[in-house]
Structure 1
Amino acid sequence: MFEKAQRLLESHFGYSSFRNGQERAIQSVLAGENTICVMPTGGGKSICFQIPALVLPGTTIVISPLISLMKDQVDALVQVGIPATFINSSLSYHEANERIREAKQGMYKLLYIAPERLESHEFIEDLKQMDIPLVAVDEAHCISQWGHDFRPSYRHIQQMVYSLPQKPNVLALTATATPRVREDICETLDIDEENSIITGFERENLSFAVIKGQDRLHFLRDYIKKNEKEAGIIYAATRKNVDQLYERLKKENINVARYHAGMGDAERIREQDRFLKDEASVMVATSAFGMGIDKSNIRYVLHFQLPKNMESYYQEAGRAGRDGLESECILLYSSQDVQVQRFLIDQSSDRTRIHAELEKLQQMVDYCHTENCLQEFILKYFGEIETESCGRCGNCLDSRTSIDVTKEAQMVMSCMIRMGQRFGKTLTAQVLTGSRNKKVTEMGFDKLTTYGIMKEKGSKEVSDFIEFLISQELIAIEQGQFPTLFVASKGKDILLGKEKVHRRETVKVREISKDDPLFETLREVRRSIAERENVPPFVIFSDAALKDMCAKLPRTSEDFLGVSGVGELKLKKYGLEFIQAIRQFCEAHPERQPEMGQAAAPKKTSKKAVGDSHLETLQLHQQNLSIEQIAEKRELALSTVENHLLQCAQQGMEVDFSKLIPTEYIPMLQKAVEEAGRSRLKPIKDLLPEEVSYFMVKSYLYFLSKNK
């Protein structure tokens, strides 16, 4: 059956091989096992049930809370010749009944439904008359009360599965689930732990950054104008914020749309369609927008305010770069946002969850103040133990000198101890800066030896510094109605002078991509076809597919089939128009040649700052400088140099892997890869000596793929 699955992947979707985790998930489903699949957004979760749906007899049920995703996925499936439909509240009673009748007759391979349908006894009876081999549960974290988006209707899924005569298998899929949430999903849906497929949460094409201490409106305007040809989402905390930003950006002549729950249905749909069809390049929205928006070419996601937890943030940020091309996720931080989120949490009707929600909020604040790798911070939050710096986030790319702030850290912690470790950040900062606040003097804190020892700084600056110390786990918080600070065990080593504390300045972000006139030409061809067929442009081809065309310059039907994301049906429907456009472009630009060594995988775009930088690293590598010498010469971290070389290899440039891997490690790597396979790095690394780094493992895998 799996051989058939591989053939279907190529004929319908245009891919020659499965991504990491997809193969194991599909094999588990086809073997009749209940399975949970945790993949990052853009990791290809939908393939894990769409391919089995084609292999298995009958109709696969897909449960999704996302009405917009249903329509987009059904449109995309129909485009590649797969019979699929959806039933949700957007349909009239007559339309829904007609689709149910057709599903009973076996006319569809996939039927998407909203979870609320499972509360209808009549609908369950309809399902009993269908041949259902598989139930796919998308956004499965909604099943857990410990998740960030719990939906009670999801609790009806298992009861529905048990009621069906065929007893179908269950496949649960999610991108944002902590270990506790995963455990809850497995228990609720009767999934054995051994059938958990977790590919990791890392999105290698996303660059994260946190911007503090800048005028947010100015930053937003400048960033959008710098990347005016790219699609992006701006998330704001409230409807009022969305409306204000929308009006402000319109005045700047920016082609912007907006979306929030306070708008009428017709207006929301119209604005969403403008964004999906590339008629508006920027969408300003509350968190109500984006769940299930299958627009693959979003190049950046900016959060204008702090989200309430890491799950929400990573899910929203993860809407960038679903096509695999480099994209940015930027959070604009202000301490005022923390107070707004605390207030909203305190207003919650579920008092039992307040403490847990405050802890989640503190994790977001820690994220904004950490000096360590931002991607690594996120991965650890989701339970990954073996992590390493990404080499591409705002913190990793900041090569400026760190400042020794040990003395200032000792001042803060000494003051906390003298105050009895019973007070919060604001009062502690006031004492340190010598405030004459009534509470400070009434409690006698103006008599402490630490009173005013940081008076050269402002209270806000000291408060931000305390947040930094919390993010470094030197200071801890006792949550409650009035959170209090105490010195953590790591902080005691700082007080005793056993360890030092260093801090850096905030980094600047950069432009996303260089212009390519051929890419713009192909984008216009895609837009024209999309308008003709009345579908969003990304349904025709993703940005990644267009980039691959730019790299490979296919001028025959056979060459066009070699483009990532092109199957036989899309070749037949759209190939001629794109091939003609490429031929005309190449005739006008004879100097343009196909990139040698270009792989079928999506080619990453280059950023102006990072793009030039990795080419400079490659040049030094080709001059026989070692990684250590390049790092010293360019004043970069070793991990940054390593990531530059891997990026060059991914883009088909000439990297000499023999210089990167000591000869004596080659047999060990060969044996480890043969034993563990190529799908995940950690199982390979576990079989190797400590001195064989993750970078060497990645380099060896690139070497294998190049010489395959």
Structure 2
Amino acid sequence: MFSKEQILKQYFGYTGFREGQEALIDHIVHGDDVLGIMPTGAGKSLCFQVPAMLSDGITIVVSPLISLMKDQVQSLVANGIPAAYINSSLSVNQTHKAIENARNGRYKIIYVAPERLDVDDFVSFARSAGITMVTVDEAHCVSQWGQDFRPSYLKITEFIDKLPKRPVISAFTATATREVKEDIVKILRLNRPFIAATGFDRENLYFEVQKPKDKYRAVIDYLKRNPDKSGIIYCATRKAVEQVCEDLQNDRYNATRYHAGLSESERAANQDDFLYDRKTIMVATNAFGMGIDKSNVNFVIHYNMPKNIESYYQEAGRAGRDGTNADCVLLYGGQDVITNQFLIDHTSEQNDLDSETLELIKEKERERLKQVTYYCHTMDCLRSYILRYFGDQSSNYCGNCSNCRQNFETVDILDDSKKILSCICRMRERYGIQMLIDTLRGSRNERIQTLHLDQLSTYGIMKEVPQSRIREIIQYLVLNEYILLTNTEFPVAKLGAKYKELLNSDQPILMKVMTKLEREQKEAKSGNLKAKQYYGEIDQQLFTKLKALRFQIAEESRVPSFVVFSDATLLDMCRKKPTEKDGLLAVSGVGEVKFQRYGERFLKIISEHGAAAAGAALPASADSAPSVEEICESVRRSFVPSEKAVPVSILADMLNSLLLQKGDYKITAIKLANFFMEKGLLQMETAEGRNNRVATALGKEHGIVTVEKTNSAGNTYRQNFYHRQAQQYAANHIEEWIGGA
């Protein structure tokens, strides 16, 4: 009989448990119900997967999304754990086969959709099987007060009641306020559960709020500063997803899209493109991502403000799941509030809820919208704001958010605040913020004059104050309850509960405002810092070789690269550079099963790299730094094409491994693909509504092959592979793009 420590190392490749994991596992093994509240990336899955392997029976995992089940099962099977999923993506025959295998004891863990729990065939199987645990993943979905309530989750307790013996119930979520936590315990009827809340902080995530005039330009600026990084861009509406994705593709970024308006087959194909790194950017609504276990998501950009902090933190938490540094950027615009209010009023219908309950839910959603709006305007630490929202104590400085990295000064806004409140009073609390600002600044627009607002005594009393500063002060007054904004499609500014207190006060009202910084210098410094934090003191050339091998194995196994090994595991290999089995097993994320499958191949790469490095010539001194021409010639001379055809991302890595030895030059996969386009070796082709680069006749002559493949969902897609001739062609023409790299 294995111990929990042996299971952890043998199947998952880890030598120690993270905070909260061991206690949850011990209580489950002893037969206790548990509730684990742990941030995304904290290892919730291990808390029920390890005890599942220690039990004699079957663990049923109730999961809300097909994509979540698919990823989890792929990873479990890759680790040598017998697992399966049963959901609507399977045919009738496949479902019967899965249930038959389960009856025969072929699986230890079975993921099911909540809708499956009242299907006679599955219930019949469950009653005769030895089910020792039912795990509820994304448990907040059971609560009407949660941000992602799913009525189908209410079937869970009915299903458990049908079983001949009550199993252990374990529930897990990444986001739960006190109210939602109490709901989970009550609705799932957890029996005196052990509750572990490990805190919500994700120290590797950088948080930033921007208020750009042009959101798309802000996205492009970010992508230019972070080339070759994989990330998600969340938009509030399908229309915005379509527009942003189309614009990115037109600007030759490797982007795809996901929203509920697409066919199921296209959603599956696009999701696979992202998971398998064929597309580096996913533009999506919040329909995408729950449970997506892609470890190398380097950034999450919210193109629009989400409806609540819970959704924001859950979606942002899809970045940096492997513990490496990642960015979470929210692009705020005033229209976002109006859009979200509309969505709350018109798209949160639950057919099986009575009108009174539905209105209570909407009222709660409006309150959550107010809290996330405050987040976008606070000058305090962004991380601290989020943690306090979830009930965690935190200092007001983290050093890893845009507010903590900015320089602020404190100003007294008492006089300006009184002017604003007086104007609201004289406008009889009938108008929105923009009309208020226009009146205060003395605008001559037609509507101001038609409504005779230019005749008020407060008209033009702040004409010397910039509009942006007035808006900042108004938001501060809203945050501090001096102004109330109505929860309507077009919010109206009214006097808040504390307005009299301010009007009658002579005490200063102090507000932090941002000072002007040299943005370019700041961005350059930030970029260098992130690169150092992300890579540390590692061998970049070895990292490139390991990524290439990982991609090759993933292609052979038809699984995403992160299922083989995460970036964090490859980085640990680069730091430790093991040359024998025990050394590789000491790398975080390498277990016995994965070592048996492909450990020797990684050891071979590391050993060969070490031998090559030992025999390499000493680098040139600083006084004799090579010229661009010398670097190009060195790359052409040193470049050794791969015997196997490779995708553009690996080709870029191969070239960069040589460039980084000679100087501070780098080529991105996007720029390399564009180079082949400019040379006429690739062309853009639209098929089934998707834009793809495909090989031209000239490209085929130079060794580029466009391959049509089929993903695990049965959908076809196209991918370009570059044979030896095409690889050498890129190296031979390196001087044409190195100057702008």
Query: What TM-score range do you get, normalising by the shorter chain?
Result: 0.7 to 0.9
Question: 2:688: which partner in 1?
Answer: none
CA apart distance, 1:434: 2.8
Give yes or no for contact 1:355–1:480 (8 Å, CA) kept in 2.
no
CA apart distance, 1:94: 1.0
The residue identity in structure 1 corresponding to 2:182 is E
Question: 1:547: which partner in 2?
Answer: 571
Q: Hey, what's the Cα distance between the residues in 2 that align with 1:439 and 1:269? A: 49
Unaligned runs of 5+ in 1: 593-708
Give yes or no for contact 2:9–2:15 (8 Å, CA) kept in 1.
yes
Question: 1:523: which partner in 2?
Answer: 547
Give yes or no for contact 2:231–2:281 (8 Å, CA) kept in 1.
yes
Aligned: 1:453 with 2:457: no
Question: 1:127: which partner in 2?
Answer: 126
User: Structure 1's 448 and 43: CA in aligned 2 closer, same or farther, altered over 3 A?
Assistant: same
Give the secondary structure class of the aligned counterpart of 1:27: helix
Q: Hey, what's the Cα distance between the residues in 2 that align with 1:423 and 1:246? A: 36
Moved more, 431-440 or 82-91: 431-440
Unaligned runs of 5+ in 2: 350-357, 617-741
Question: 1:359: which partner in 2?
Answer: 367
Count of paired positions: 591
Q: Hey, what's the Cα distance between the residues in 1 that align with 2:393 and 2:481? A: 17
Question: 1:558: which partner in 2?
Answer: 582
Aligned: 1:513 with 2:531: yes
Question: 1:581: which partner in 2?
Answer: 605
User: Structure 1's 209 and 473: CA in aligned 2 closer, same or farther, altered over 3 A?
Assistant: farther
CA apart distance, 1:485: 3.1
Give the secondary structure class of the aligned counterpart of 2:298: strand
Match of 1:485 among 494, 500, 513: 494
Aligned: 1:497 with 2:507: yes
Give yes or no for contact 1:60–1:111 (8 Å, CA) kept in 2.
yes
Question: 2:421: which partner in 1?
Answer: 413
CA apart distance, 1:538: 0.3
Aligned: 1:201 with 2:210: no
The residue identity in structure 2 corresponding to 1:156 is K
Question: 2:389: which partner in 1?
Answer: 381
CA apart distance, 1:100: 0.8
Question: 1:313: which partner in 2?
Answer: 312
Question: 2:35: which partner in 1?
Answer: 36
Q: Hey, what's the Cα distance between the residues in 1 that align with 2:72 and 2:288? A: 17
Give yes or no for contact 2:421–2:499 (8 Å, CA) kept in 1.
no
Question: 2:76: which partner in 1?
Answer: 77
Query: Any residues of structure 2 matched to 1:157-168 within 5 Å, and which?
Result: 157-168=156-167
Q: Hey, what's the Cα distance between the residues in 2 that align with 1:479 and 1:496? A: 31
The residue identity in structure 2 corresponding to 1:71 is K
User: Structure 1's 434 and 216: CA in aligned 2 closer, same or farther, altered over 3 A?
Assistant: same
Task: Please give the per-residue CA displacement for 1:161-188, whole angstroms capped at 9, x wherever unaligned.
Answer: 1221120011111111111111111101
The residue identity in structure 1 corresponding to 2:553 is I
CA apart distance, 1:272: 1.4
User: Structure 1's 440 and 492: CA in aligned 2 closer, same or farther, altered over 3 A?
Assistant: farther
Give yes or no for contact 1:128–1:165 (8 Å, CA) kept in 2.
yes
Give the secondary structure class of the aligned counterpart of 2:93: helix
Question: 1:369: which partner in 2?
Answer: 377
Task: Please give the per-residue CA displacement for 1:62-116, whole angstroms capped at 9, x wherever unaligned.
Answer: 0001111111111111111111111011111111111111212222110100000
Task: Please give the per-residue CA displacement for 1:667-693, whole angstroms capped at 9, x wherever unaligned.
Answer: xxxxxxxxxxxxxxxxxxxxxxxxxxx
User: Structure 1's 218 and 133: CA in aligned 2 closer, same or farther, altered over 3 A?
Assistant: same
Give the secondary structure class of the aligned counterpart of 2:156: helix
The residue identity in structure 2 corresponding to 1:185 is I
Q: Hey, what's the Cα distance between the residues in 1 that align with 2:436 and 2:217? A: 32
CA apart distance, 1:408: 2.8
CA apart distance, 1:570: 1.3
CA apart distance, 1:522: 1.4
Q: Hey, what's the Cα distance between the residues in 2 that align with 1:112 and 1:164? A: 17
Task: Please give the per-residue CA displacement for 1:194-225, whole angstroms capped at 9, x wherever unaligned.
Answer: 62211111111101001113421122112113
Give yes or no for contact 2:412–2:508 (8 Å, CA) kept in 1.
no
CA apart distance, 1:576: 1.6
The residue identity in structure 2 corresponding to 1:94 is N
Aligned: 1:463 with 2:471: yes
Question: 2:214: which partner in 1?
Answer: 215
The residue identity in structure 2 corresponding to 1:485 is K
User: Structure 1's 163 and 278: CA in aligned 2 closer, same or farther, altered over 3 A?
Assistant: same
CA apart distance, 1:463: 3.5
Q: Hey, what's the Cα distance between the residues in 2 that align with 1:449 and 1:196? A: 59
Task: Please give the per-residue CA displacement for 1:321-368, whole angstroms capped at 9, x wherever unaligned.
Answer: 000111000011111122122222232444443322222111111111
Task: Please give the per-residue CA displacement for 1:219-243, whole angstroms capped at 9, x wherever unaligned.
Answer: 2112113222211111112222222
Q: Hey, what's the Cα distance between the residues in 1 that align with 2:171 and 2:439? A: 52
User: Structure 1's 378 and 473: CA in aligned 2 closer, same or farther, altered over 3 A?
Assistant: farther
Give yes or no for contact 2:418–2:502 (8 Å, CA) kept in 1.
no
Question: 2:249: which partner in 1?
Answer: 250
User: Structure 1's 166 and 289: CA in aligned 2 closer, same or farther, altered over 3 A?
Assistant: same
Moved more, 234-243 or 176-185: 234-243
Question: 1:50: which partner in 2?
Answer: 49
The residue identity in structure 2 corresponding to 1:486 is L
Give yes or no for contact 1:405–1:502 (8 Å, CA) kept in 2.
no
CA apart distance, 1:391: 1.7
Give the secondary structure class of the aligned counterpart of 1:314: helix
The residue identity in structure 1 corresponding to 2:564 is I
User: Structure 1's 401 and 464: CA in aligned 2 closer, same or farther, altered over 3 A?
Assistant: closer
User: Structure 1's 224 and 519: CA in aligned 2 closer, same or farther, altered over 3 A?
Assistant: same
Q: Hey, what's the Cα distance between the residues in 1 that align with 2:43 and 2:500? A: 43
The residue identity in structure 2 corresponding to 1:169 is V
Task: Please give the per-residue CA displacement for 1:600-631, whole angstroms capped at 9, x wherever unaligned.
Answer: xxxxxxxxxxxxxxxxxxxxxxxxxxxxxxxx
CA apart distance, 1:417: 5.0
Q: Hey, what's the Cα distance between the residues in 2 that align with 1:472 and 1:213? A: 24
User: Structure 1's 194 and 585: CA in aligned 2 closer, same or farther, altered over 3 A?
Assistant: same
Give the secondary structure class of the aligned counterpart of 2:403: coil
Give the secondary structure class of the aligned counterpart of 1:208: strand
Question: 2:18: which partner in 1?
Answer: 19
Q: Hey, what's the Cα distance between the residues in 2 that align with 1:506 and 1:312? A: 32
Q: Hey, what's the Cα distance between the residues in 1 that align with 2:494 and 2:485? A: 5
The residue identity in structure 2 corresponding to 1:157 is I
The residue identity in structure 1 corresponding to 2:320 is G
Identity across matched positions, percent: 44
Q: Hey, what's the Cα distance between the residues in 2 that align with 1:456 and 1:354? A: 40
Question: 1:326: which partner in 2?
Answer: 325
User: Structure 1's 399 and 549: CA in aligned 2 closer, same or farther, altered over 3 A?
Assistant: farther
The residue identity in structure 1 corresponding to 2:494 is L
The residue identity in structure 2 corresponding to 1:50 is Q
Give the secondary structure class of the aligned counterpart of 1:396: helix
Q: Hey, what's the Cα distance between the residues in 2 that align with 1:584 and 1:215? A: 49
Question: 1:654: which partner in 2?
Answer: none
Give yes or no for contact 2:34–2:190 (8 Å, CA) kept in 1.
yes
Q: Hey, what's the Cα distance between the residues in 1 that align with 2:421 and 2:543? A: 55
Give yes or no for contact 2:410–2:511 (8 Å, CA) kept in 1.
no
Q: Hey, what's the Cα distance between the residues in 2 that align with 1:311 and 1:96? A: 34
Question: 1:59: which partner in 2?
Answer: 58
Give yes or no for contact 1:380–1:387 (8 Å, CA) kept in 2.
no
Task: Please give the per-residue CA displacement for 1:532-561, whole angstroms capped at 9, x wherever unaligned.
Answer: 111000000111111111211212211111
